[in-house]
Amino acid sequence: MTKTFDVVGIGFGPANIALAALFDDEGIFNNSVFLEKSKTPVWQEEMLFENALDIHSNIQNIPHRDLATLRSPRSRYTFMNYLHSTGKLLSHLNMDLLMPMRPDFAGYVSWVSSQLSNYLRTDQAVDKITMLDDIHSHVYRIDVKGKEPVFARNVIVGTGREAYIPKPFQNVIDDDRVFHLTSYKTSHTALMKKGAKNFAVIGSSQSAAEILLHMSKYEPRLELHSFMRRFAYPLKDTSPFMSEIFFPSFTDMYFEADDSLKKRIDMDVHRTNYGACDMDVLTELYRQIYYDKMHGANRITINRLTDIISAEADESGVHLTVRDARTMETRKEIFDGVVLATGFRNIGTSESSVRIPAVLDGISDMLDLSDDGCAQVDRSYRVKLKPGLESAGSLILNGLCETSHGMGDAGSLSLLASRSQIIAGALSWNDGKKNSVSTDEVAAQ
Ligand SMILES: Cc1cc2nc3c(=O)[nH]c(=O)nc-3n(C[C@H](O)[C@H](O)[C@H](O)COP(=O)(O)OP(=O)(O)OC[C@H]3O[C@@H](n4cnc5c(N)ncnc54)[C@H](O)[C@@H]3O)c2cc1C
């Protein structure tokens, strides 16, 4: 006989940590566990580098839109309580920082998660989710690499989105010299140890600019090439009016909008969160390039209006064939490393999207997909299951629903607290519905 949890969370990043904090604050769903693949989870660790203070390596989020405040300012898991409990409150207030430094916010996320360790099992990489049959009350079975399976009445997928690898790089992504920003620190450090001399950075996002700055500050001998389809790095739209996309009322409106209205809104609000950079980072990068030229060096080259046509790797390096959109001429360049600051995959049908998140592959037969084969969710983030599975518990996507719930639902910290409240509400409703069904113990199928 195997224990069945009321709730199993997959991943223990900010999204599921915020949910566990709510469980703890409210004393609900004590019979829950969160499975995290890392041994010691740290918020976006691969991009957590201490840039010089003058670069302001800050987060892009007002810190009180943290893991708890929006649902309960009295929670002990607020950013304010973190500052207070760690003896930093007064000096932090003295700095008058609208956005905290990134290592400080990562410290806050770890501080919250360390208090929730009774919910957490680390070193548990979830491989597959499947569902048991009707006799076993449609309980979910979660397979973990090299470990015993775990059973749950409800599953919360909080794995973060999959990295987007553009087509020209898909044939070389298994090469150690080509890597996404989600493995930047590890991969870049390994290549530096092997004597790498030049890198290409693909994309024009905040992360692309930060990576260029990081490499130029800490590895001054490196030659760096930025490649972007755009004319230049766009400035992030931080207008307070646009920033209302991070209000729960925006999510309500967006969720109800039809596809054409969603597209219209997306075009408008895109630069509040994607493919755009903060002014402090842009100013610093521009100054760095100017400073280098002043000293007769040209360490950072911006290749604007440039498309990557193909990539190949051999023992001499990674060969990029690129085309300048102004002249339509192609040329080949060779690099010791290529960093893809190319973003993440939302649910959808475009080349950069994914119809069903990979972690749901094992259960795809149970999903009520849209006409174009995509996973669908309701306002409470519950994945729609096929008719006949009404007695199954909830399968919830926590932080993967930007297509249905709007900009910022996956790529921002701002809505985590209010989202956990909605998810807990959906779980409680489901719990009431299923109280009559005894699923405390099931035999492994
Ligand atoms: C570099 C970077 C910087 C960002 N900075 C900001 C910012 O300043 N402000 C802002 O508002 N937003 C920011 N974001 C966007 C967003 O808020 C963060 O990505 C946030 O971390 C999302 O939280 P999450 O829990 O959904 O996903 P993640 O943080 O990605 O956490 C997912 C967790 O799940 C684990 N996991 C994944 N797959 C499995 C599996 N199969 N089995 C078990 N565990 C698994 C991972 O190890 C990870 O711990 C940033 C994103 C990135 C990439």
Domains annotated on the chain, with CATH = 2-161+346-442 (3.50.50.60), 167-236+274-340 (3.50.50.60), 242-272 (no CATH)
Query: Residue 96's pLDDT is what?
Result: 84
Matching residue, tokens 């010299």: 177
User: Helix (H, G, I), strand (E, B), or coil: what is residue 381?
Assistant: coil
Pairing of the two strands 150-157 and 2-10: parallel
The answer to whether ipTM exceeds 0.95 is: yes
Query: Residue 410's pLDDT is what?
Result: 84
Please report which residue ranges of 43-194 form alpha helices under DSSP H.
79-85, 89-95, 102-114, 184-193
Q: Which residue from 36, 164, 246, 414 has its CB within 8 A of the most atoms of ligand 1, so it is best to mutate? A: 36
Q: Which residue from 12, 33, 35, 44 has its CB within 8 A of the most atoms of ligand 1, so it is best to mutate? A: 44
Ligand 1: which atom is nearest the Cα of residue 359? 41
Ligand 1: which atom is nearest the Cα of residue 127? 41
Q: How far is the CA of 327 from the centre of ligand 1 (A)?
A: 39
Counts of helices then strands in the chain (DSSP H, E) = 11, 16
What separation in angstroms does the CA of 404 have from each of 13, 194, 348? 21, 44, 10
In this structure, are residues 123 and 428 in contact, taking their beta carbons and an 8 Å threshold? no
Kindly report the protein residue whose alpha carbon is nearest to atom 53 of ligand 1.
44
> Which structure tokens are listed for 389?
């599975």
Q: Which uninterrupted H or E stretch holds 134?
A: none
Query: Residue 297's pLDDT is what?
Result: 84
Query: Residue 136's pLDDT is what?
Result: 77
**Ligand 1 close to Cβ of residue 411 (< 6 A):** yes
Alpha-carbon distance of 54 to 35, in angstroms, equals 38
Alpha-carbon distance of 220 to 27, in angstroms, equals 52
Pairing of the two strands 178-180 and 223-227: unpaired
Ligand 1: which atom is nearest the Cα of residue 17? 25
In this structure, are residues 354 and 407 in contact, taking their beta carbons and an 8 Å threshold? no
Which of 157, 163, 222 has the alpha carbon at shortest distance from 196? 222
DSSP assignment letter at 70: T
CB atoms within 10 A of CB 426: 19
Query: Residue 52's pLDDT is what?
Result: 52
Q: How far is the CA of 352 from the centre of ligand 1 (A)?
A: 18
The rounded average pLDDT for each run of 10 residues, N- to C-terminus, in the chain (445 residues) is 91 98 97 96 88 64 94 97 97 90 93 97 97 86 97 97 98 98 96 97 95 90 96 94 94 97 94 88 94 89 98 98 98 98 96 97 96 97 95 96 91 94 89 45 36
Q: How far is the CA of 115 from the centre of ligand 1 (A)?
A: 19
Alpha-carbon distance of 170 to 158, in angstroms, equals 25
Alpha-carbon distance of 342 to 324, in angstroms, equals 19
**Ligand 1 close to Cβ of residue 60 (< 6 A):** yes
Alpha-carbon distance of 256 to 405, in angstroms, equals 9
What secondary structure does DSSP assign to 209-243, as a single string? HHHHHHHHHH-TT-EEEEE-SSSSPPBP---TTGG
In whole angstroms, how large is the CA radius of gyration of the chain?
23
In this structure, are residues 356 and 367 in contact, taking their beta carbons and an 8 Å threshold? yes
Query: Residue 408's pLDDT is what?
Result: 78
Alpha-carbon distance of 360 to 366, in angstroms, equals 10
Q: Which residue from 8, 16, 37, 214 has its CB within 8 A of the most atoms of ligand 1, so it is best to mutate? A: 37
CA angle 420, 421, 424 (to 5 degrees): 80
Which of 132, 158, 129 has the alpha carbon at shortest distance from 389? 132
> Which structure tokens are listed for 351?
């080349």
Alpha-carbon distance of 45 to 193, in angstroms, equals 20
Query: Residue 285's pLDDT is what?
Result: 94
Query: Residue 351's pLDDT is what?
Result: 95
Alpha-carbon distance of 31 to 23, in angstroms, equals 10
CA 304 to chain centre: 27
Burial 225-251 (b: 16+ CB within 10 A, else e): bbbbeeeebbebbeeeebbebbeeebb
Residue partners of 223: CB distance under 8 A and separation at least 6: 197, 198, 199, 299, 301
E strands present in 145-206? 150-157, 178-180, 198-202
Pairing of the two strands 140-144 and 126-131: antiparallel
